[in-house]
Structure 1
């Protein structure tokens, strides 16, 4: 290994060829982060050169790593191990300077030409240019190098960053040269470009290990992703093994350099290319150890170098096969109409949930390089996994430790027969006992959803998914199967409609009784009050009366073909109020339980339970009876802008400012002058954040019988 500080004349003058390996990423530098700062440095150097001449200090541009290629060419050939973005940009810069100076007939232009193009008298076409980019950039690069002036000065924005870079430098150089003495400026520019820009050139012999140096230098410029590092590592290893890297790249890796795999996807608080996320999931599926996306290269290297791992020649086909399956179900999940396969439906629902956590399990179960999981077992595997995910989401369970849990499941699955994968995964999910990882039971799920303001507590896509799934269930679909329906409901397009409108005061009034007003307000966002409509109803109709013409029921009947709405026509023919909402809610919850069934022996956990006030009908008097409240206890208003207190009376009423109120909601409206959930409005202990609602939930949990805590 030789290391030298070189200027651009020394780097590019001799007859030579720089090869960007076909497995390296394409050109990615851009104006804001690289081109403009580079040109600013050049302008600074030219200004200094005008006064200081050759004494001006050079500008250091970083390091490049080159490896000699043994034989195969009439001129010296080197592979660019690191620095391809930098070298490509410098070649574009020199060519852009040549085209501008040629147009101005500057004598220096001829001198520049030999720094991006080799002497043609004794070379074949492949050796004509100093630089050969990676495969995806070669057409654009050669078009630039062979174009007549001006090759840039684009009328529109080219998709090629190479073309845009050339155009940027052409315009900057043209403007700078034309703004003064052209002949003098041409001399200064060429002197600066060739003598005052330097790099450290690290030159390796053909048999030296370049990967170690590459890994230490990858963070400069535009940082390489984990997938970039994996790709370089894979093909450097294949080179060392004397494999046909070009054939392997074309067959097993080129698919990853497409828009689908390069797309950025959100992963919690950051985003990463889909390929990096897939590699992390694939590694988890292979090893049974959690692989965060940010650590994908380190984990991949550990996996590939482990003594028990397959060879790189075997890893690459396995990776490619799993990636094809992954891409198929991901693309299918984006369809908005028509049936979906088992995996496509799962992928759609997982995408709405916004979770990537289950990916490794699906990759494990569908791995083409391993023994196939029988069809019925795969169906059970996916169905149980989806039920576990959905029920946890509906219970608003956190995701702490879920990555390690999934990896542990895979580790245990690897120790078992794939012929029984569905049975084994179901049993493992049943045994999960951590509070946020348990599989919620029917009793827990119903108890949670009965009184939950679903519309305001869940993201709208999840609410829509619930209603879509219920509609498909009514149409006869059982997971990915249909017995009699013409098709699934269109996904992701319907509007969520409140049957009892959010603005209900005008046409749905319950008079001046503040308790009744609060009760009505509590029902607006419940599951039983929500449905789907195509495109949404006219706001006048949506907020209008239920019956009559043009009433809301009549409008739904006239414009909706959804089965869930046809049922509403029967259920609400005499009117729509709180009792109708609660009755329909129970039916929808039953449908959810059937869509995502839980194993009969699932243990669940009471830590999920959110006691339902509408079902339990707990009152302040109940809290007094069990000692959670005492006569004369002072409650404090929750909101900072409304200072006030209320006192608990022996009969369970509240007194505030000498006025009696028969419920917490009535008292909160008396203070805030608007309908409010009084159970959450009043603090029992402000310092500790204890509300009446917390006491009510505690009593509800205490009342829940053992039979209700398990799935019967």
Structure 2
């Protein structure tokens, strides 16, 4: 057999037919497992090209082809022994991009280039089906013919016009929709010609297949059975292991001791266990290696490129192989601590739990880098900033699709400046919807008006409520240990009609009903109860429900529930919890609370006035985010005086975070000219008259004294 690495241009460019035997199964690939990961790989490579980065070949797997006898002078043909799903998907993808380029009236060269990869051009052939590069099994041929002939694509996000429910047609609809959405999303950054030029070049020349051509003496059936029915396929981590010990042998290193001291602990069942990454599951060791390489190289590591990237990393490493493997081992220990399901009840431990609940895997390389370079106190401000950023954007339902790119940029800046204070400064500079950090004002609006019960998963909403419970504690409050059995309860029940009549406002009650439905699923109407108490009080009248809750619940969320519960009470409680939220997940551009969390309590006996309104804290006009690209000045100036002047306009007892202090313009520094890290260092030294640090504050906060 002959084995060659071939780009899509080399495989599909020549006139030839790749025929799938009738005995093979029909097309079965799906969106979650196959189409979406392939499209994400395509757009990631195109993004690298658009940013001027080097684009390495992307491996798509292997296909096995067998010679087919053809009459003299007719088009060459090969039988697809293995890889028909992959080849069919690639043809559908190329056709979809071709048709979107045609629909957008782009330069004809893009359509011509893709047509050469999807259509054979043989004027001497009388077989109409000979035009197709790939010819699937009998069942799939009508749908494949329809797709490859190019029906008019529908608008992005809808099924393609005229297409039915076959899997091939669904694949075509997926790729046309994603291509159109991708072009629309990047229209503000690049022209359509720039986008499709990069897309077509990447598809033609940067995706590779290993093509195995069988010879007449090769038994195609035996090879097919060996590829599909025997053994377990190698994982990327298996290839990494083979590479490491092959290199060790070449360098005459003690292979057995290297295995026992370094690699053996990475072969436990725990590392082989599959963990979820978005919609897919991968072995934990493969996931770790991806995060490790991203943290080390400061670049995105695509799943199919994991082994190739690791091989390049080893080849370019400036340290001996033994030291490199010991470093990897230490990072593996750090990764297991970061992803342990049982996190300690510290601020950082709760954040790591939050990362798991939010499925925020793109931030893990940054956490790896921070935790292996700085102790917990030095990285606390950076961790708090990431925590606030992720939670605020999640609750605000802002997109996560830019996170890969955003956190890679942050990682590169962290590695360049070697300062955890970079995190807060970087996140504050993001000013688009795909990256901005919601302010206190934004959060008050969302938390008081949006139906969070419908917008967030139960796990995420339970996390928010549990953390708010923590934010409501004071120095006089007993700390409760939550064992995960608390459930979410509507105080005004979802089935409210029996015991909760609408207030009389006049008219037909439409306005009152709309207001109630608007507030029903908002934060102000939600709490946590035990699994046994929840159904017991669920739909009863408020007097009985409140009495049972106050009798059995010890949560601060529930101890201050008023005697009357209506729309005004819900609005007031939402504002109260929004204040607690902004205290728990602080934003550097908004003022830190001037006192402890005791100021956040809502007395149980307080009557809520009709249509009560509680406003978000005002923002001091002199405090603004640090300007992009401004670093610590070369000339040494008086940091203590800067801190003292930053507090000059505030009353005694006012508190500011280190980021807020750095963002104030004084006689010593321009706004944002000094880093929060430099401010924190001076505050920790306790040498600024009239200013004291707030004990155990995260991020580090200082208070003005008399």
| TM-score (normalizing by structure 2) | 0.49
Q: Indicate the structure (1 or 2) with the bigger Cα radius of gyration.
A: 1
| TM-score (normalizing by structure 1) | 0.49
